[in-house]
Structure 1
Amino acid sequence: MIRLWGRLSSINVRKVVLALQLLELPFERLEAGDAFGVVRTPGYLARNPNALVPLLDDDGYELWESNVIVRYLAARYGREDLYPHDLRARFDAERWMDWQQTTLNPAGRDAFVQLIRIAPAARNQALADTSVAATEPLWDLLESHLADRRFMAGDRLTVADLPVACEMHRWRGLPLAWRERPRLDAWYGHMLALPAAAGVLDLPLS
């Protein structure tokens, strides 16, 4: 039995839920983090000393770090289409997963926090503006990247697309004007159309 600890308001939890649903794996999700607490209890800290979500338990094997969990699930359940056996194809996909985690997510974080998580009267607009200025060129980068491919790592869906789709969901949910980028918009439309996106990429931000 697969168990997943984490609240759906977390982008990192949404990545894992998207992967589980794409793989059509039955799982139980337990609320944890933020207002739900749990993450600082001794039992949880013994499993994840970072006191963060998500945490996955796959029949006794426990794992944290969202992108690692996504890769594990695709590898564990035999989806070579999602997690290629060919090393060059695999690490191309992993490269974009790491880029989401180390470049795209940090750039957009302050805009999300200021515009969604903080009350208007307490917002630091300068932080939000700096975040927007850092993030918009990254969407342009992806628009150019998709000039000769349908997905992040080539012409088929891989694990690379899941974290970036969750990031796009978060950015498109902000009260900001979105400049059309035809290739990126078409890619995201494909992600939204996946049955696995239900309950993940259609959620309001909180």
Structure 2
Amino acid sequence: MLEILGKASSINVRKVLWTCAELNLAFEREDWGSGFRSTQTPEFLSLNPNGLVPVVRDGDVVLWESNTIIRYLAARYDGAHLYPADPLLRARVDQWIDWQAADLNRSWSYAFLGLVRQSAAHQVASEIALSIDNWTRHMRILDEQLRATGAFVAGKQFSLADIPIALSVNRWFGTPFEHPHFPAVSGYFERLRERPGFGVHCGNGLP
């Protein structure tokens, strides 16, 4: 039985949970992280030296980093419909997964922490404004891509890339500031409501 270590409210844990729903994959989950068992214990650090969730245990396999985990699960458990074996098609999925982690996430971090988490360390108005501007620029890139595909981020079919992207889009809609209208992004988010796991792990009221 696959084991997932991490609280269900974590955006990165939710990537893994949604992927399991798409793969119809059974698992057991343990609450770790803020408000639950500490990830700074020797027990947890022996699994992930970064002290972050999620961690998965799959038999003798232990993995951390959410995007690595979802790639592994799709490749291991008959997820070619999400993560194609063809090198070019897989690369098109990978580039959007990597863009989400390296570019999109970094753009919204300060604004989200300041406006939603109310972090005392993220209350400089000019920095929040800069983060919103950068976030908006990246969302415009996403809107243009979705207008080009007319469907999902890597093409006409839902793919593994849509899981991390959708969770970031959910944060976009859930962060309180004046949002420009991106019609392709809005249409995309509505299409995602039909996916297994979306309502439980993304469109569930959690930012």
TM-score under structure 1 normalisation? 0.93
Deviation at 1:124, TM superposition (A): 2.7
Whether contact under 8 Å (2:107, 2:135) holds in the other structure is yes
Equivalents in 2 of 1:73, 1:144: separation in Å?
29
Residue 4 of structure 1 aligns to a residue in which SS? Answer: strand
**Partner in structure 1 of residue 161 of structure 2:** 160
Whether contact under 8 Å (1:116, 1:205) holds in the other structure is no
Equivalents in 1 of 2:196, 2:94: separation in Å?
23
**Partner in structure 1 of residue 124 of structure 2:** 124
Residue 197 of structure 2 aligns to a residue in which SS? Answer: helix
User: Aligned pair count?
Assistant: 206
**Partner amino acid, structure 2, of 1:29:** R
**Partner in structure 1 of residue 184 of structure 2:** 183
Whether contact under 8 Å (2:18, 2:196) holds in the other structure is no
**Partner in structure 2 of residue 6 of structure 1:** 6
Deviation at 1:119, TM superposition (A): 6.2
Describe the shift of the 1:189–1:29 C-alpha distance in structure 2 as closer, same or farther (beyond 3 A): same
Residue 83 of structure 1 aligns to a residue in which SS? Answer: coil
**Partner amino acid, structure 2, of 1:26:** A
Equivalents in 2 of 1:33, 1:143: separation in Å?
33
Equivalents in 2 of 1:34, 1:127: separation in Å?
26
Equivalents in 2 of 1:30, 1:178: separation in Å?
36
TM-score under structure 2 normalisation? 0.93
Equivalents in 1 of 2:47, 2:119: separation in Å?
34
Unaligned runs of 5+ in 2: none
Whether contact under 8 Å (1:114, 1:127) holds in the other structure is no
Deviation at 1:6, TM superposition (A): 1.2
Q: How does 1:41-80 map to 2 (within 5 A)?
A: 41-80=41-80
Unaligned runs of 5+ in 1: none
**Partner in structure 2 of residue 204 of structure 1:** 205
**Partner amino acid, structure 2, of 1:71:** R
Whether contact under 8 Å (2:152, 2:188) holds in the other structure is yes
Residue 56 of structure 2 aligns to a residue in which SS? Answer: strand
**Partner amino acid, structure 1, of 2:33:** G
Identity of aligned residues (%): 35
Residue 24 of structure 2 aligns to a residue in which SS? Answer: coil
Whether contact under 8 Å (1:100, 1:164) holds in the other structure is yes
Describe the shift of the 1:119–1:137 C-alpha distance in structure 2 as closer, same or farther (beyond 3 A): closer
Whether contact under 8 Å (1:114, 1:125) holds in the other structure is no
Deviation at 1:97, TM superposition (A): 0.3
